[in-house]
Amino acid sequence: MNIFIVGAGAGGRELLTVSAAERIKNADIIIGARRVAEPFKNVCDRVFFEYEARKIKNILDKNPCENAVILFSGDISFYSGAKDILKLYPDARTEPGISCVSYFCAKARVKCDDINIISAHGRECNIVSEVRRHKKTLVLLGQNPCGKLCEYGLGGAKIIAGENLSLADEKITRGRAEDFCRTEFSPLTVMLIINENYDNRFRTGIDDNEFITGSSPMTKSEVRAVSVSKLAVGESDICIDVGAGTGTVSVEAALLCPRGKVYAIEKNPDAAELIRKNALKFQTDNIEIINGEAPRALSSIPKADKAFIGGSSGNIAEIIERCECDTIVVNAVTLQTLGAATETFSRLGYDYDVTLVSTARGVKTACYDMMKAQNPVFVIRGVR
């Protein structure tokens, strides 16, 4: 059986490549999602509406033929299910198509070589974090993101939306995010978001004065810089901040993992509200606040890569045991917490190191500048 994986283009049949059209014309069987395959029912006697790889294999097993065409919308190399078919049929022949991105950018008259491209179609996406870091972000839409952009202070971002591209009801609209908060876009929409005030810095040790603070505990910038550095957060990491306080570590970790997530655990409702306000201020939509006490609150969190424990309420051993992360960083101000953390790391097979951070800040008196000591903090890192 000859299997051809074919990109059907942005939608309209006229956008098929000549090679793709030839494969379809000579097909004994055509398989694809209904929207993609239905236009070709008059070309082939056997057309099946299916897009899941295993189900497609079942169809092919039950319907032997000489030439089978599996259709995918757009281009097979762009957010396509074709990759799953290739795992099952590595010798299948491939035919590229015209992606919605190239079609849209041509129609909207914008260049695509400097665009950050993401998909929110059927998948989780930290849209605010993406827009914060990039001047141009092109999104394959799931839900309309404009309301969320406005919530996080990005209502002024420019929007170009392309609906039902290449079809009879194609529509391209322009405006700002604040103009489209209540707009219902077609499920087949791509959206270009232009943020002239983008900020792609990866920041650690952010000045304390930049955060919204209250009476809740706060990890000071110098200690935070060392602690977050030792966490070594990756772009797509899942992180936990236990005893998050005002959310300073949560924010810095979230800035470092824009395509990951930070679960901020805080038992004090007032502090949890401060975390929410700081997440909005720093445009970190990848922070999820859990108002509860560890270790019990950890039961609702999926397995994470990194964990920071800033407050433990005397439960440090149990919290470390429940985190089950490859890297855990603990801040301790007492020898008892230091001892409990190192003993637990040793018992669980972690390699650990201890750093004592002792800093002083300059303050002004009536006539002089002098240094005022900050509380020393033990930073304990366990790595497995």
Pick the CATH number of 208-383 from 3.40.50.300, 1.10.340.70, 3.40.50.150, 3.40.1160.10: 3.40.50.150
> By C-alpha distance, which of 130, 129, 145, 132 is closest to 180?
145
Indicate where the chain has its CATH 3.40.50.150 domain(s).
208-383
The domain defined by 2-98 carries CATH number 3.40.1010.10:
yes
Indicate where the chain has its CATH 3.40.1010.10 domain(s).
2-98
Architecture of domain 102-194: 2-Layer Sandwich (3.30)
pTM here is 0.88
Helices (H), the chain: 18-25, 34-37, 53-62, 82-88, 100-108, 127-133, 146-151, 221-231, 248-256, 269-281, 316-323, 335-347
pLDDT in tens, the chain (384 residues): 899 999 998 877 788 899 999 999 999 999 999 989 988 888 888 999 999 999 999 999 999 899 999 999 999 998 889 999 999 999 999 999 999 999 999 999 999 889 999 998 878 899 999 999 999 999 998 889 999 999 999 999 999 999 999 888 999 999 999 999 999 999 889 999 999 999 998 889 999 999 999 888 889 999 999 999 999 999 999 999 999 999 999 999 999 999 999 999 999 999 999 999 999 999 999 999 999 999 999 998 999 999 999 988 889 999 999 998 999 999 999 999 999 999 999 999 999 999 999 999 999 888 899 999 989 999 999 999
Identity at 358, one-letter amino acid code: S
- Euclidean distance between CA atoms 247 and 353, whole angstroms: 25
